[in-house]
Structure 1
Amino acid sequence: MKAYIVGVGTTKFEKPESRDWQYWDMAREAGTQALADAGISYDLVEQVPVGYCFQASTAGQRAAYELGLTGVPVYNVNNNCATGATVLMMARQFVEGGISDCVLALGFEKMTRGALGAGADGGSFATSPVARHYGVMAGAHGFEMSPPTAQIFGNAAREHMERYGTTEAQLAAVGAKNHRHSANNPDAQFQDVYSVDEILAAKTIHRPLTKLQCSPTSDGAAAALVVSERFVVRHGLHDKAVEIAAQAMTTDTEESFASGSCIDVVGKPMSRQAARSVYEKSGLGIEDVDVIELHDCFSINELLTYEALGMCADGESGKLVESGATTYGGRWVVNPSGGLISKGHPLGATGLAQAAELVRQLRGEAARRQVADARVGLAHNIGLGGAAVVTLLRKG
């Protein structure tokens, strides 16, 4: 059975503590918007998987109750930075498996200012679920006092530079592109445009990554209504419907750890395997994709993901972004929303916000950031620990 997204909603992503709201306020805003987008009422929703990383157990219920008290099952999901896409995947599985005809996928995060700790929960290095990942980094590069997530991705960037000759300017070009894109996104946390030189001159977080190449902590929420084909027909939602053509999640394998490389331990093998799976399932390839929302938590991860998705050969990603192939007028438009670097990164909402952006692009509803004639979109959401989710969306 096919699954379709027929309604999406997103709040503005904002700097933590900049607005007097609670996570359930965010969830109500995004969820209400998704329902209104589809033109259906909450009493038609049969199940509600909810994603977040920093709130207490059953926060999903507290959030969903803002939309209605209908007694439907609510599931609380935490899969680190891949939480939003994991929630979308659960919703799709409920629909494709014939269990439900209408599922609301909801994700939100209310965060605190400052960098994340050794894990999304801010725990210590020793107790973090990703201690094994950081152990690989420490074995190769030591462990410094800079923020752990910036450190492990920064070390992946150093390895890429040493192995392939990638330059700091190429890394900064990712940040420049995504900040430029976000200027057209009123829901983005940042909407300022920076040159490559300005990005290089910004404060260093962990060499070679500067502040303007790192995603911020953010508050925000996103939602998507996932429904069956018969639901689309019954409610006349053909114009709204965007098909989930294929989706796959991969977790770490031996390849992630065997090389002792930060490039592998931050998830490139997971991303590559998930991408191959969706290409095989859908019969589509990267050459069929028009628009991409990918997990640029740090500029280096965008480059690693180009390679994992098959957009270029290993080591060629710096040249790819520098060539203009991943912006308007190029072969693909990557992160038209501004990506995590500039749009923001409220962990539980990120993957769903990526899907929402692609749905709007494929419907032709993305206003000033619209990608011309977009028919196929790809979303990539990754979390250390680990999980990588790749989703292919198609508008018929």
Structure 2
Amino acid sequence: MTGEVAVLGTGMHPWGKWGRSFVEYGTVAARTALDDAGIDWRDVGSIVGADTVRGGYPGYVAGATFAKALGWQGARVTSVYAACASGAQAVAAARAQILGGLADVVLVVGADAAPKGFFRPAGGDRPDDPDWLRFRVLGATNPTYFGLYARRRMAVHGDTPEDFARVKVKNAALGALNPYARYRRQVTAEEVAASAVVADPLRLLDICATSDGGAALVLSSVEFARRHGVARPVRIRAVSTVTPRYPSTVLDLPDIATDSAVAVAPVPETFRASIARAAYEEAGIGPDDLSLAEVYDLSTALELQWYEDLGLCGEGEGAKLLRDGVTALGGRTPVNTSGGLASFGEAVPAQAIAQVCELVRQLRGEAGDRQVAGACVGLSANQGLFGHGSAVIVVR
């Protein structure tokens, strides 16, 4: 297909709390990806960096920051920010450059050095920042938001804390097998239930941590990959970066005229479902074609919601899908074979790139004890603050 680009290399820096600069994590991941691809840095035509607001000015110009760290060699440079979707937006920018003929080989890098605890808004009082508004107006930190979402699932669909714990048990078992994961230990349902309540009904082991980490990809045109000796490369077939649809627009900026509001017809799906649908339509596949998926499990309850939004089951059937083993390794559609955020913690600009790294390794048959038999199609999905969609479909 004309919209495909090849993945020549993947690279990661292990997740954890290392106390060093995000630049170091990203540089390690980038060099690992270049080695995996068999490409010299001097032969890269473009570098796209996923920004981090926690890295000072260098974090806001991540593409140039990593280009400098690797050694100035004249490559085109791009920096993107889309909150949790930054990595997928970086992949989208790289793919556009390749398909547009601007570069044969593009390096994509994301890394973060996250503070302990939940993410605080950057830059002090920011009434234009939705995080600041949630924290200051609603008093709702991220764990509080996750807890409200879990309560809704319990009320509407009958999910239970035991169902949420099953997600953690599944993901921890897979993370224990992943050398890049921060938490490499299996967890029992009893341990989840015994952990401290953070935002009822969610406990400490139901919520992902914040972490340091880095991830990178080397992308190229399919033709370049074949000239480079890769006859059948893993390919990115679709990238969805859609925004939400709402039946009305609420304008809160005084310098925008009210007649500029755009109203659209209501859609019978969640924003996350629209992200997945756009990716499926571009790739020409459906949920039944997936070999595996990597989703953003900020909380255990949110992973269950992703099952439904990806079309793996009907509305309200996520917990049953989990109980039936469909999303476990060996099931019909394993989800978060990497161990997910439950095992990694969140390093925001790196996470969507790391999801693609896992898919690529699975499709190459390089996932070791986490390997999904016969994997040929994978999807990664998350969403970023301020309406940033994020889904990537990878095929073999």
TM norm structure 2: 0.89
For residues 131 and 22 of structure 1, the distance between their equivalents in structure 2, rounded to whole angstroms, comes to: 25
Partner of 2:117: 114
Deviating more after overlay: 341-350 vs 53-62: 53-62
Give runs of aligned pairs for residues 51-200 of structure 1, distance below 5 A: 51-53=50-52, 54-55=54-55, 56=57, 57-117=60-120, 119=121, 121=122, 124=125, 126-130=127-131, 134=134, 143-144=138-139, 148-200=141-193
2:195·2:203 contact (CA, 8 Å) conserved in 1?
Answer: yes
Q: Which residue of 2 aligns with 1:4?
A: 6
Gaps of 5+ in 1: 259-267
| Cα shift readout 1:84-109 (whole Å, capped 9, x = no counterpart) | 11111111111123322111111000
Aligned length: 372
Please give the root-mean-square deviation of Cα atoms over the aligned residues, in Å: 2.1
Per-residue CA distance 1:198-229 (angstroms, 9 max, x = gap)? 11221111111111111111111100011102
Relative distance call for 1:384 and 1:198 in structure 2 (3 A) is: same
Task: Determine what percentage of the aligned residue pairs are the same residue.
Answer: 35
Shift of 1:174: 1.0
1:8, 1:34 within 8 Å by CA — same for their partners in 2?
A: yes
Q: How far apart are residue 319 of structure 1 and its match?
A: 1.5
Mind listing any 5+ residue stretches in structure 2 that lack a counterpart?
Answer: 251-268
| Separation (CA, whole Å) in 1 of partners of 2:206 and 2:82 | 23
* Superposed displacement of residue 255, structure 1: 6.3
CA offsets 1:120-155 (integer angstroms, 9 cap, x no match): x375574423467x49x97xxxx34xx611111211
**Structure 2 residue matching 1:342: 3-state secondary structure:** helix
Task: Indicate yes or no: 2:293 matched with 1:300.
Answer: no
Pair 358,255 (structure 1): closer, same or farther in 2 beyond 3 Å = farther
Aligned twin of 2:26: 27
> What residue is the counterpart of 2:363 in the other structure?
362
Q: Which residues of 2 match residues 281-320 of structure 1 at below 5 A?
A: 281-320=282-321
Which residue is equivalent to 1:345?
346
Q: Give the corresponding residue for 1:45.
A: 44
- Partner residue of 2:334? 333
CA offsets 1:242-272 (integer angstroms, 9 cap, x no match): 11121211223216999xxxxxxxxx82221
1:20 Cα deviation (Å)? Answer: 4.8
Structure 1 residues 151 and 343 mapped into 2: Cα distance closer, same or farther (>3 Å)? same
Task: Say if 2:49 and 2:61, in contact at 8 Å, map to a contact too.
Answer: no
Cα drift, residue 80 of structure 1: 0.8
Deviation at 1:374, TM superposition (A): 0.6
State TM-score, norm by structure 1: 0.89
1:51 touches 1:349 (CA, 8 Å); kept in 2? Answer: yes
Matches within 5 A, 1:142-291: 143-144=138-139, 148-239=141-232, 241-254=233-246, 269-291=270-292
Once residues 230 and 309 of structure 1 are traced to their aligned partners in structure 2, the CA distance between those partners, rounded to angstroms, is 31
- Whether the 8 Å CA contact 1:45–1:102 is kept in 2: the answer is yes
